[in-house]
Amino acid sequence: MLYQYPFSPPWLCTRVKNHLIGFTQTAILDDMNAKNTRLWLRVELHVHTAASTDSLVSPQKLVEYCQQIGIDRVAVTDHNSIEGALKAYALAPERVIVGEEIETTQGELLGYFMTEHVPPGLEPMEAIHRLRAQGAVISVAHPFDRVRGAQWTAEGLLSIASHVDAIEVFNARCLGNHPNQQAANFARAQALLTTVGSDAHSLVEIGQASLYMPPFEDARGFISALQYALPRNRLSPAYVHLFSTYAKLVKRLRKGKTAQP
Ligand SMILES: [Zn+2]
């Protein structure tokens, strides 16, 4: 992924640089597509549905919204579940990638092109083995974000680096750019591919962070295309975290109601 804008002077802040990167690369790609030289795909790699405890988005609404705003491929990555992803895939197999955000005994992994659920609470290497066994692509979700529940230690992250395909170097739900910058540095040092994701728990967040990629059909094609991917990233405002808090509350209330005699 072309992550650094080669002409940005060092005094520009990261947020301005990201805008410049997005603006320039999008303009280049729009031009390429206009000339019909190659139709690249806009790909969103980190989205939740109601199968997560902290989202209320139905798979149907997700698929419709992606079509509406021009997301050509969307990876549904619910917390420790592939149920929502399978439902979305059944509705739009050409648009949906079945994925999962798996909580390990350390931080979280992102699996793509999955066919089987991987349960939470496994040692990272055990989760990686289960993902590899089904031919999935593996990225590491927001590895340096210290405000998330699950946390990677430095040793833990180093020990899995050679066993994963990519690192998520931009997560739109981070509260600042520092964790994303650290993730990008780590990916570069380890010579790993990079992914980005909105980590959308509501419809309005979808597309905050996406990649333009050459066309791909399966896990192998995805890995090849990822090498040429161009990011279009924007941090989400902090208030989007209220959407997931609200979703958790609604689900707790619903559960309470159904539990009543
Ligand atoms: Zn997530």
Q: Is the pLDDT of residue 20 over 80?
A: no
- Taking the centre of ligand 1 as the mean of its atom positions, its distance from the CA of residue 27, in whole angstroms, is 29
In whole angstroms, what is the distance from residue 63 CA to residue 49 CA? 10
pLDDT-based confidence at residue 3 (cuts at 50, 70, 90): very low
What are the Cα distances from residue 219, in Å, to 31, 62, 63, 159, 177? 28, 22, 20, 23, 29
**229 DSSP 8-state letter:** -
Write the CB contacts of 156 (distance below 8 Å, at least 6 apart in sequence).
106, 107, 124
| Residue that wins the pLDDT comparison between 254 and 63 | 63
- pLDDT at residue number 250: 84
What is the mean predicted confidence (pLDDT) over 168-195?
95
pLDDT-based confidence at residue 150 (cuts at 50, 70, 90): confident
- pLDDT at residue number 2: 42
| Residue that wins the pLDDT comparison between 254 and 209 | 209
pLDDT-based confidence at residue 113 (cuts at 50, 70, 90): very high
In whole angstroms, what is the distance from residue 114 CA to residue 243 CA? 27
Q: From start to end of the chain, where are the E strands?
A: 41-47, 73-79, 96-103, 108-112, 137-140, 166-171, 193-197, 209-213, 230-233
- Taking the centre of ligand 1 as the mean of its atom positions, its distance from the CA of residue 63, in whole angstroms, is 17
Structure tokens at 19: 């805008």
- Taking the centre of ligand 1 as the mean of its atom positions, its distance from the CA of residue 37, in whole angstroms, is 34
- Taking the centre of ligand 1 as the mean of its atom positions, its distance from the CA of residue 78, in whole angstroms, is 7
Structure tokens at 104: 């390990």
pLDDT-based confidence at residue 1 (cuts at 50, 70, 90): very low
Mean pLDDT estimate for the chain: 88
Q: Is the pLDDT of residue 19 over 60?
A: no
- pLDDT at residue number 255: 81
What is the mean predicted confidence (pLDDT) over 163-188?
95
Q: Say whether domain 14-43+100-252 belongs to CATH 3.20.20.
A: yes
CB 153 within 8 A of CB 136: no
What is the mean predicted confidence (pLDDT) over 19-33?
62
**Among 189, 186, 134, 192, CA closest to 163:** 192
Report every protein residue that has its C-beta within 5 angstroms of ion ligand 1: 101, 199
- Taking the centre of ligand 1 as the mean of its atom positions, its distance from the CA of residue 172, in whole angstroms, is 10
Q: Is the pLDDT of residue 65 over 70?
A: yes
pLDDT-based confidence at residue 237 (cuts at 50, 70, 90): confident
Count other C-beta atoms under 10 Å from residue 231's C-beta: 20
| Residue that wins the pLDDT comparison between 59 and 6 | 59
Hey, where are the domains in the chain?
A: 14-43+100-252
- pLDDT at residue number 35: 52
- Taking the centre of ligand 1 as the mean of its atom positions, its distance from the CA of residue 124, in whole angstroms, is 17
Q: Is the pLDDT of residue 61 over 90?
A: yes
